[in-house]
């Protein structure tokens, strides 16, 4: 609900309040964002208003009429250069006369129901019953400029999003150097700034930094949101945990270069901004034209990170992800990449698909290598025609045979790229982002098509439409495997090269929008060398994104958990792969690989043809189990418990046993109605002589009785080494033929958990699970729990009749 009380604006969600006012100077003073307040009129907001009588020393006064006000010592909704505020600006412009001082002041406001879609950018959406919009109109009369600040309130989600639109009402062009999407000023700076950084194959490493005097920056200049610095960031009070303490989450609905910064000034005030990265950005706005900033999303929670995440998850599921696959259950897939890489043929693929069908997989995906003369990564990107030496019947021939096996069929594409060794590059060398006459810094033997050009967009749309309509294709993995270099477009004059990166993103969105509208039944999955473009902009078109090219279960557990702070896990694609893992050469148990992957949009990526019979039998059981719990895992409410993260700010470490600190991970996913739940425990390394462990589920209904149970497993006796001789009547040499034969005939029973208890007992008392092997004995009441082991636990509520 949005209200205007004289010069005050109050934005309420079900559990939060955001408010600001118009100052006598015409600037907008930020007053409050946090838990919901009781505000009936402007008098109730007087405690929130700073009292300014005399300006501080050595500052600039805004004007002679209001000498109490210095913008350097104010909490503002937006700011600019030149009028006294020397902090991070919201907007920066080079005026027609060369100056960069601008002074936007309040003119009017408008409150409406619903939310209009942006012309070229993606954004949130909702009906008139679900969202309200506040438009604040500001003007700089002297420079003939205007600025609109937009606030979108989603009451039931406890989400407020923001955006801005810049107008040139003058007679000459101006250069827009910066336009942020969100600015939020705080009274104090007793917060931690949390970012998620990384690289290829190690995305989403969490970092907590105390906000101190000066500036902290999280930014990308890779041309994408990047694995180096995801655009989702958080602010939290000291000692905030998963279930206690105040915190904020911030998203930017954008897929290009982004910028988030916190700054604390000399008066102890903190500012956070997020928007398009201003580095090397410059946009010419001609008379009577405008520039739209991307939308930014804010979430506040008073009860810890889990509450904040759940508010964001609900919002993303309901108001970002859209179309056929918004709430439809995602199929279980097998991807061919790690099974064969580029070395594919119809014969190999069909053999793999037959194995996939046998274990219960629903969708077979042919990855890279199917088009042009594609034998490795050095050729054929851009030539989107099937290689008939590999696929004699083309895409349709293979698709028909895959469907004949009872499977759906999907493919991999990389539409934004081109190889120099391709027909497309020979025909259109000017279609790439590169500087004419200068050596090009290439990535993965490929170049980036200039999606800022309309003809390039049209080529991608039409070539992909031809591919997608040539066969019965149910799924498309849309990849993008390099970062930008040598920013330059031959379609723009020299003075407008600062527009290249942003125009690329707008062109990408046009391609995605057009293709998802033409092919609404296809399940599109975003990918960019793993998580190099994981953001809400992509999720406006594609309901899921490949989280990382690293499929190692230990790495993926951390990656998935850290994505979960800002994204629902149904948006994170996760696969079971072979061991030793192709990225780390680490061996992890097959059950752990399954259990970690099943919390995302689930699939397999391994050569089933080479797997042992008992491994395929285990996969068959895993898939059957996942199908039973798929809805809970894909659409349920996710809770984090203990974590591998051992940072001190969030209070997640600190065990009195040093070996236990950061060694355990604990997740729970609960159905929408609270009657079903799946939990996972996982450890990094065995702690000797530590048998007892307690699992604390979250989100259960306190007064509902649950059936709590695990999946009964059996273990290969070879996992116990020559300890088998402690029970064998004859000596068995380790790895001998006898040992091999015996391992096929005899399996060790795992532990059983099976009882009924009320939700409050399970949550508050915890579940003391069966003891882990501690070196003093083993039987079917002991957990076989080696390095990197995990367990799934299931909770079925007894519905009262």
Q: Which positions are catalytic?
A: 479, 549
Q: Which two tokens stand for residue 800?
A: 């009262």
Contacts of 656 (CB under 8 A, 6+ apart): none
306 φ/ψ angles, rounded to the nearest 5 degrees: -60, -45
Task: Report the alpha-carbon distance of residue 34 to residue 3 in Å, rounded.
Answer: 17
Question: Which residue shows structure tokens 């599109």?
Answer: 524
Spatial contact of 681 and 664, defined as CB atoms under 8 Å apart = yes
Spatial contact of 31 and 20, defined as CB atoms under 8 Å apart = yes
Tally the C-alpha atoms within 13 A of residue 163's C-alpha that lie toward its C-beta: 20
The secondary structure of 608-637 as a DSSP string is GGGS-HHHHHHHHHHHHHHHHHHHHHHHSE
Q: Which of 45, 43, 61, 55 is nearest to 12 (CA)?
A: 45
Residue 557's SS3 state is: helix
Q: Which of 197, 789, 199 is nearest to 549 (CA)?
A: 199
Task: Report the alpha-carbon distance of residue 131 to residue 117 in Å, rounded.
Answer: 13
Tell me what percent of the chain is helix, strand and coil, each rounded to the nearest 5.
25, 30, 45
Residue 119's SS3 state is: coil
Contacts of 89 (CB under 8 A, 6+ apart): 79, 80, 81, 178, 180
Task: Report the alpha-carbon distance of residue 484 to residue 492 in Å, rounded.
Answer: 17
Contacts of 587 (CB under 8 A, 6+ apart): 579, 580, 581
Q: Which of 378, 358, 356 is nearest to 368 (CA)?
A: 378
Largest CA distance in the chain: 99
Q: Which two tokens stand for residue 360?
A: 């219960």
Spatial contact of 544 and 527, defined as CB atoms under 8 Å apart = no
Question: Which residue shows structure tokens 């048998």?
Answer: 691
Task: Report the alpha-carbon distance of residue 46 to residue 791 in Å, rounded.
Answer: 54
Contacts of 98 (CB under 8 A, 6+ apart): none
Q: Which two tokens stand for residue 595?
A: 């259990």
Tell how strand 296-301 and strand 333-335 pair up.
unpaired
Residue 288's SS3 state is: coil
Q: Which two tokens stand for residue 5?
A: 């009380």
Using the 8-state DSSP alphabet, how is residue 769 labeled?
P
Question: Which residue shows structure tokens 């007053």?
Answer: 31
Task: Report the alpha-carbon distance of residue 11 to residue 7 in Å, rounded.
Answer: 13
Judged by phi (left if over 0) then psi (alpha if -120 to 50, else beta), residue 378 lies in: alpha
């Amino acid at each position: 609900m949005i209200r205007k009380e004289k010069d005050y604006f109050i934005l309420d969600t079900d559990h939060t309040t955001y408010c600001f006012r118009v100052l006598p100077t015409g600037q907008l003073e930020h007053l409050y964002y946090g838990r919901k307040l009781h505000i009936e009129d402007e008098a109730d907001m007087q405690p929130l208003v700073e009292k300014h009588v005399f300006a501080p020393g050595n500052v600039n006064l805004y004007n002679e009429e209001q000498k109490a006000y210095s913008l350097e010592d104010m909490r503002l909704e937006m700011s600019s250069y030149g009028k006294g505020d020397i902090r991070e600006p919201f907007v920066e412009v080079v005026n027609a006369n060369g100056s960069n001082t601008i002074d936007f002041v309040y003119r009017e406001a408008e409150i409406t129901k619903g939310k209009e879609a942006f012309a070229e950018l993606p954004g949130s959406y909702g009906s008139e019953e679900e969202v309200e919009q506040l438009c604040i109109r500001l003007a700089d009369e002297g420079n003939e400029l205007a600025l609109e600040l937009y606030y979108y309130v989603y009451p039931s989600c406890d989400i407020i999003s923001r955006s801005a639109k810049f107008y040139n009402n003058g007679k000459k062009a101006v250069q827009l150097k910066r336009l942020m999407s969100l600015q939020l000023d705080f009274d104090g700076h007793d917060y931690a700034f949390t970012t998620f950084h990384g690289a290829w194959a190690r995305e989403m490493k969490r970092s907590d930094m105390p906000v101190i005097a000066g500036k902290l920056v999280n930014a990308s200049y890779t041309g994408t949101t990047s694995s180096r610095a995801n655009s989702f960031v958080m602010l939290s009070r000291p000692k905030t945990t998963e279930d206690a303490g105040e915190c904020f989450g911030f998203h930017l609905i954008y897929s290009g270069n982004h910028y988030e910064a916190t700054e604390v000034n000399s008066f102890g005030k903190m500012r956070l901004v997020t928007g398009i990265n201003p580095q090397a950005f410059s946009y010419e706005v001609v008379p009577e034209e405008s520039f739209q900033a991307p939308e930014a999303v804010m979430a506040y929670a008073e009860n810890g990170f889990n509450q904040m995440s759940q508010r964001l998850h609900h919002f993303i599921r309901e108001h970002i992800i859209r179309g056929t696959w918004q709430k439809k259950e995602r199929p279980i897939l097998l991807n061919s990449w790690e099974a064969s890489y580029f070395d594919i043929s119809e014969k190999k693929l069909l053999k793999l698909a037959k194995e996939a069908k046998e274990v219960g997989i629903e969708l077979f995906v042919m990855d890279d290598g199917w088009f042009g003369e594609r034998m490795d990564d050095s050729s054929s990107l851009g030539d989107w025609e099937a290689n008939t030496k590999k696929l004699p019947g083309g895409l349709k021939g293979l698709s028909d045979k895959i469907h004949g096996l009872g499977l759906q069929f999907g493919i991999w594409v990389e539409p934004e790229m081109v190889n120099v060794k391709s027909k497309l590059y020979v025909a259109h060398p000017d279609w790439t982002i590169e500087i004419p006459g200068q050596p090009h810094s290439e990535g993965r033997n490929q170049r980036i098509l200039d999606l800022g050009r309309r003809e390039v967009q049209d080529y991608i749309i039409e070539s992909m439409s031809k591919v997608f309509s040539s066969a019965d294709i149910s799924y498309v993995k849309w990849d993008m495997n390099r970062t930008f270099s040598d920013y330059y477009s031959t379609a723009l004059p020299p003075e407008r090269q600062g527009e290249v990166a942003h125009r690329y993103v707008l062109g990408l969105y046009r391609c995605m929008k057009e293709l998802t509208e033409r092919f609404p039944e296809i399940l599109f999955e975003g990918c960019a060398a793993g998580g190099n473009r994981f953001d809400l902009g992509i999720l406006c078109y594609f309901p899921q994104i490949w989280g990382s090219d690293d499929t190692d279960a230990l790495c993926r557990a951390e990656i998935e958990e850290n994505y979960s702070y800002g994204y629902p896990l149904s948006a994170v694609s996760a696969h079971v792969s072979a061991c030793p893992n192709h990225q780390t050469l680490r061996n992890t148990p097959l059950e752990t690989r399954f259990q970690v992957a099943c919390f995302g949009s689930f699939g397999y990526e391994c050569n089933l043809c080479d797997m042992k019979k008992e491994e395929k039998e285990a996969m068959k059981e895993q898939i059957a189990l996942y199908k039973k719990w798929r809805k809970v895992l894909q659409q349920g409410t996710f809770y984090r418990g203990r974590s591998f993260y051992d940072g001190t700010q969030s209070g997640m470490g600190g065990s009195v046993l040093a070996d236990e600190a950061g060694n355990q991970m604990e997740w729970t996913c609960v159905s929408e109605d609270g009657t079903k739940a799946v939990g996972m425990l996982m450890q990094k390394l065995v702690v000797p002589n530590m048998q007892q462990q307690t699992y604390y589920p979250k989100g259960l209904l306190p007064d509902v009785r649950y059936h709590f149970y695990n999946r009964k497993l059996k273990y290969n006796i070879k996992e116990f080494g020559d300890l088998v001789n402690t029970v064998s009547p004859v000596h068995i040499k380790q790895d001998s033929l006898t040992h091999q034969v015996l391992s096929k005939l005899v399996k060790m029973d795992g532990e059983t958990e099976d009882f009924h208890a009320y939700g409050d007992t399970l949550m508050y008392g915890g579940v003391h699970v069966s003891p882990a092997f501690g070196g003093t004995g083993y039987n079917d009441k002991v957990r076989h729990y080696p390095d990197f082991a995990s367990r799934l636990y299931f909770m079925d509520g007894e519905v009262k009749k």
